[in-house]
Structure 1
Amino acid sequence: MRKLIAAVMTSLDGVIQAPGGPDEDRSGGFAHGGWVWPHAGDGEVMGGVFSRPFDLVLGRRTYDIFASYWPQVPRDAPHGHIADAFNNATKHVATHHPDTLAWRNSRALGTDPVAALRDLKRGEGPDLVTQGSSDLLHQLLAAEVVDELRLLVYPVLLGHGKRLFDAGTRASALRLASSVTTPAGVLVTHYLRDGEVRTGTFAEH
């Protein structure tokens, strides 16, 4: 069975909006786009997710941002290997306009993205990796179809913006599979689902 992995760049206070550039997503008056760039060299620590074959799962806004950027990145650029991986991967896109998916190897998820992804997970193929796509990610977390979280937690507070978790996120226990801190202070974590939330009381000890 294929896994669905959420690979996310997040601020310490959980904001995931516009990590890559000032004009990436200004919705809601967000004015801090590009907040990962002081730590740009640390982006390589996410390379393990993209070092194996994968399919991408994207919301429409993130798809359009990626489709306008990654095909233009030269192979000999610092992130050329990621560009190659993204350009060659199959892209599964949540969209109401499937006829406008021009980036190669792009496919629409249809009218029910969650059901479509459940079907994809049951089939053969590489793991499915979602990036950005906050609205879609919230749907997937609420439906409990995300198997792993790969988080890059940056040492910055943004105060407001689109967040990793919203009120629809289902309660779930997680197990930390690995973690490392980069020289610039980025915390790289890998979490696996671990069943239901377990509770107790200090009175028991």
Structure 2
Amino acid sequence: MLSHLLTSIINDIHGDTITLRKLLERCGREGMLLVCAIACLPFLIPVSIPGVSTVFGAAIVLLSTALFLDRLPWLPQRILDKDLDANKLKPVLHKGVGMVGKLDRWLQPRWSGLTTSPMQRFNSAVLVFGGLLLMAPLGLIPFSNTVPAVGILLLTVGMMQRDGVFVLLGYLGHVLTVVYFGVLAYLAWVGGNFVLS
């Protein structure tokens, strides 16, 4: 159960700060997808943690690239060792346990063709794209981090649990993110032309 695994990770967080390196060490290589899922949780609730979007988005990109290349991850020390406020992060993760717990009851192995080779590489490539969307500097715009985070979370839990339905939902989340960002870009363009005219 994903919620039980996430709870055990939260209970292992001690002190005032936590680094991504410690989370990775706790999860191991098999937990790279879990770390990607954890990185999405702060963006699913209305709590702002400064600097998290860039750090976690970059981590998702690099971890997904490692999955795509089927090798152990390499992350810059700047990302691995950046101190995150554990006192702000833990409550967010606790709320994330509830969200993941709701997903647990729906997850089951099905449509496994979407979670096995060669689709594993394609799914990893989609995760890389999702991480880049999450890193977009649009933090002040409503849902600009939430929409890509939902797509990443659905895709990662689908890959972890071999659930092709959730993988498809993750694809849909990424498509909706591109549409949403496209609408924002169009509105900015129209607004800019209006101001200039």
Q: What is the TM-score of this pair, normalised by structure 1?
A: 0.28
Larger relative contact order (C-alpha < 8 A, sep ≥ 6)? 1
- Could you say which structure has the higher helix fraction? 2
- Could you say which structure has the higher strand fraction? 1
